[in-house]
């Protein structure tokens, strides 16, 4: 695990520049660093030693004749079998690392190497003869890869903050990203909050040569339900492939731990992994916000040690600015801060942890996925009538029954953009003083819905979440919060072989009107106690709605809502009204308030 940075080299002081960029991401790799600088390119690397922890695993790594140079962030879990193939083909290895497999594999197979890999990765290979840069990102987007082309300099790396010290970098806010963020709670488009800085999408590779950038998709999820096996056979398949994936994800020359909440995903991981230590955080003593009791009981059940921490409100609020710095882009998911603390605690004991991210998206775990199956009688009402009822209901004050009529008056593609829907287009236009050319939510989601237009509603929702929500929120915070603490986080659910099983499971075994992750939960029952395997999904509960009613934290947010930055971007009287209505109990505006507040904190960190 590590971080890397680089740029096409047209500067006299490239050594100094690349070292400054490397320093910005030292938290990703505190164990060692390395660089390659020639007349065409500068490459920098920071290493967290996990496999082949000797100096032989340091990067950059060169091929036999020194004509190709590799920088790599991630882990390749099937590297040993690929290594054997390459040795038989005549390649000579200098190290025992998984990194070197990518270098020789690219020599042997070109971009076809990517579909041979099993793992999480972002890497670049510089060809000193062709003067060509090749870069790739893993299947699900577990590892990040950013790039920018400014003043003839092509920059690339694991974190945006490294670009800021390059003399050709122009730091300009992408205001369209702000408008999209207000709806999604994260940045959903390829262009980031920094104008001209882009994310390479998951399952894509690029080639850069002579100032020209070409990007290509090499893999995608394909849901192809197979109705032949019965439920028991699917449970067997899930159990077998998940045990196989966990074993692969445990490959390491250092100790591996596991995160643990009260939910089925992390419990299943911890039980199968058979690690010595599990890690949990919570808030206060209320079980609604504190899963430590559950985690300790479960750890006792599997005979492992649980290490926990209760996060105080002061700690949570006191670290928001630092965490937004590490995020690179604002993320309004309150759980990312809690994730920072569990990573911090785990890093005191281990270098690698397993976690349960991805199970909900691939096996159908979110409660919202049950919506298409609820109230079948109402669904039978002709579409024009439902739309008319919804239009009338939308003019009434929002409450539970009314919200149902409004949502069911819309097609799935209109009402579902993922697990967060903060501000509608109308709300965000009213809230913002600035004018942008941001696309509306449906323009962003349409390309994904178009790819599964013939699928059932649940499959459509899963496909959308796999490509937007999971990458833009779940995996972003997993990478940034773990790396902020020099900790490698591995996600055995997000494995290409697990996905190959999951995409064949019929919808009826993924989601029912009463349960989510139906078949996966049954598989988990073989390793976890029923009270855990059957537990309703909680997420990562954070008591922000409670805190925002307290004088201290209300005051902190109000100060941001009336700041010069807020005055520049927003109609601040509307911000204060959101805050006051929440405090008085007129409405639960906590998530909307948090979305704006986090942007203002992030803006202060990076632009003030």
pLDDT band at 569 (very low <50, low <70, confident <90, very high): very high
Whole-angstrom Cα distance, residue 184 to residue 522? 32
Mean pLDDT in residue range 69-74: 96
What percent of the chain stands above pLDDT 70? 96
pLDDT digits (tens, 9 = 90+) for 311-360: 999 999 999 999 999 999 999 999 999 999 999 999 999 999 999 999 99
Does 540 or 594 have the greater pLDDT score? Answer: 594
pLDDT for res 52: 57
Q: What average pLDDT does range 442-455 have in this prediction? A: 97
Count CB atoms within 10 A of the CB of residue 21. Answer: 27
CB atoms within 10 A of CB 490: 32
**2 catalytic residue (yes or no):** yes
Give residue 141's region: left, alpha or beta (phi > 0; psi -120 to 50): left
Q: Which segments of 210-304 are extended strands (E)?
A: 212-217, 256-259, 277-282
Sheet holding 153-157, edge to edge: 32-37, 41-47, 2-8, 153-157, 146-150, 197-199
Does residue 399 surpass a pLDDT of 80?
A: no
pLDDT at 288: 59
**Which structure tokens are listed for 360?**
């909900």
**What per-residue confidence (pLDDT) applies to 402?**
79
Instruction: Tell me the pLDDT band of 538, cut-offs 50, 70 and 90.
Output: low
Mean pLDDT of 139-156: 97
HEC string of 163-216 equals HHHCCCCCCCECHHHHHHHHHHCCCCCCECCECCEEECCCCEEEEEECCEEEEE
Q: Are 504 and 226 in contact (CB under 8 A)?
A: yes
> Which two structure tokens, joined as six digits, stand for 88?
């038989």
- Between 78-92, 142-156, 304-318, 538-552, the lowest mean confidence (pLDDT) is in 538-552
377 exposed, middle or buried (CB, 10 Å; 0-12, 13-18, 19+)?
A: exposed
Question: What is the overall mean pLDDT for the chain?
Answer: 93
In this prediction, residue 527 carries a pLDDT of 87
Residue 125 pLDDT level (bands cut at 50, 70, 90):
very high
Asked whether the predicted pLDDT for residue 502 surpasses 70, the reply is: yes
The structural domains of the chain, ordered by start, are 2-175+197-217 (3.60.20.10), 231-355+477-533 (3.40.50.620), 543-608 (no CATH)
pLDDT band for position 301 (cuts 50, 70, 90) = confident
State residue 54's pLDDT score.
54
Q: What is the pLDDT of residue 104?
A: 96
DSSP 8-state code for residue 162: G
Instruction: Please give the residue that has the higher pLDDT: either 394 or 333.
Output: 333
Out of 2, 189, 336, 343, pick the active-site residue: 2
Residue 114 has pLDDT above 60, yes or no: yes
Taking residues 568-586, what's their average pLDDT? 97
- The rounded distance, in Å, linking the Cα atoms of 112 and 119 is 15
Mean pLDDT of 73-97: 94
- What pTM value is reported for the model? 0.94
Residue 391 pLDDT grade (very low, low, confident, very high; cuts 50, 70, 90): confident
Q: Is the per-residue pLDDT at 57 higher than 70?
A: no
Q: Could you read off the pLDDT of 185-197 as tens digits, one per residue?
A: 999 999 999 999 9
Residue that the structure tokens 């390659």 belong to = 36
| pLDDT at residue 595 is higher than 90 | yes
């Amino acid at each position: 695990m590590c971080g890397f940075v680089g740029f096409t080299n047209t500067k006299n002081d490239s050594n100094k520049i690349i070292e400054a960029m490397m320093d910005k991401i030292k938290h990703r790799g505190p164990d060692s660093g390395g660089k390659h600088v020639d007349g065409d390119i500068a490459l920098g690397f920071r290493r967290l030693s996990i496999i082949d922890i000797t100096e032989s695993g340091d990067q950059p790594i060169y091929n036999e004749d020194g004509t190709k140079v590799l920088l790599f962030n991630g882990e390749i879990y099937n590297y040993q079998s690929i290594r054997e193939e390459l040795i038989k083909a005549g390649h000579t290895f200098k190290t025992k690392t998984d990194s070197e497999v990518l270098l020789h594999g690219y020599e042997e197979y070109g971009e076809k190497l990517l579909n041979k890999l099993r793992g999480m990765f972002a890497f670049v290979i510089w060809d000193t003869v062709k003067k060509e840069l090749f870069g790739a990102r893993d299947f699900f987007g577990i590892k990040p890869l950013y790039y920018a082309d400014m003043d003839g300099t092509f920059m690339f790396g694991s974190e945006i903050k490294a670009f800021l010290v390059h003399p050709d970098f122009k730091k300009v806010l992408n205001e369209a990203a702000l408008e999209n963020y207000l709806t999604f709670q994260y940045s959903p488009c390829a262009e980031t909050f920094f104008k001209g800085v882009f994310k390479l999408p998951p399952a894509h590779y690029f080639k850069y040569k002579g100032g020209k950038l070409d990007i290509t998709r090499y893999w995608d999820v394909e849901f192809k339900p197979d109705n032949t096996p019965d439920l028991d056979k699917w449970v067997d398949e899930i159990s077998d492939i998940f045990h196989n994936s966990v074993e692969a994800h445990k490959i390491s020359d250092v100790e591996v731990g596991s995160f643990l909440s009260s939910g089925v995903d992390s419990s299943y991981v911890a039980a199968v992994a058979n690690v010595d230590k599990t890690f949990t955080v919570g808030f206060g003593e209320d079980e609604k916000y504190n899963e430590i009791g559950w985690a300790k009981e479960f750890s006792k059940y599997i005979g492992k040690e649980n290490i926990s921490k209760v996060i105080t409100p002061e700690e949570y609020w006191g670290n928001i600015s630092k965490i937004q710095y590490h995020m690179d882009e604002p993320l309004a998911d309150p759980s990312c801060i809690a994730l920072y603390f569990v990573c911090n605690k785990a890093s005191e004991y281990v270098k690698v942890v397993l976690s349960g991210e991805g199970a909900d998206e691939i096996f159908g775990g979110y409660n919202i996925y049950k919506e298409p199956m609820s109230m079948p009688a109402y669904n039978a009402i002709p579409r024009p009538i439902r739309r008319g009822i919804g239009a009338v209901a939308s003019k009434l004050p929002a409450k539970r029954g009314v919200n149902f009529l409004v949502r069911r008056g819309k097609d799935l593609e209109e009402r579902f953009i993922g697990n967060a829907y903060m501000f509608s287009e109308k709300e965000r236009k009213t809230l913002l003083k600035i004018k942008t050319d941001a696309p509306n939510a449906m323009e962003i989601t349409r390309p994904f819905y178009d790819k599964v237009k013939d699928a059932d509603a649940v499959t459509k929702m899963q496909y959308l979440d796999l490509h937007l929500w999971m990458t833009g929120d779940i995996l972003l915070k997993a990478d940034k919060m773990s790396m902020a603490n020099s900790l490698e986080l591995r996600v055995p659910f997000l494995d290409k072989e697990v996905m190959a099983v999951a995409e064949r499971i019929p919808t009826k075994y993924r989601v029912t009107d009463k349960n989510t992750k139906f078949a996966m939960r049954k598989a988990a029952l073989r390793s976890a106690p029923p009270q855990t395997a059957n537990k309703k999904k909680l997420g990562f509960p954070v008591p922000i709605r409670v805190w925002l009613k307290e004088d201290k934290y209300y005051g902190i947010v109000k100060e941001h809502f009336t700041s010069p930055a807020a005055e520049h971007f927003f109609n601040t009287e509307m911000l204060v009204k959101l805050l006051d209505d929440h405090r008085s109990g007129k409405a639960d505006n906590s998530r909307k308030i948090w979305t704006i507040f986090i942007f203002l904190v992030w803006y202060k960190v990076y632009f003030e």
